[in-house]
Amino acid sequence: MATTLKLRTATAGGVCTVRALIRHPMETGGRKNAQTGQLIPAHHITELSCEHNGSTVLTCHWGTGIAKNPYLSFRFSGAKAGDILLVRWSDNLGASDSIRTVLA
């Protein structure tokens, strides 16, 4: 399976900027299928986390209010070239994905 995460990082002066794009339908459970009239079941990311060298720097608890294919950008300090960054998510249906990168 191809990854659902696209990750870009930039490190300058010990501060790392992380930009992530996540491919996910983020269905609320309140929208109807136009053809059948049936409700589309809820399917959304419930937790996203980012670890820098094994230490958590960000944890997000999301619900149905987040748009389809969410984009996330944040910064944290203490980063340097060669450090490991891990971003992972899980959703309400048990699906998950992660991406690991080495900071340049």
Render pLDDT for 49-95 as a digit per residue (tens, 0 to 9).
Answer: 999 999 999 999 999 999 999 999 999 999 999 999 999 999 999 99
Name residue, tokens 């589309």.
Answer: 40
Number of helices (H), then strands (E), belonging to the chain: the values are 0, 7
Name residue, tokens 């080495």.
Answer: 102
Render pLDDT for 6-60 as a digit per residue (tens, 0 to 9).
Answer: 999 999 999 999 999 999 999 999 999 999 999 999 999 999 999 999 999 999 9
Kindly report the pTM of this predicted structure: 0.92
Domains and CATH numbers, the chain: 5-102 (2.60.40.10)
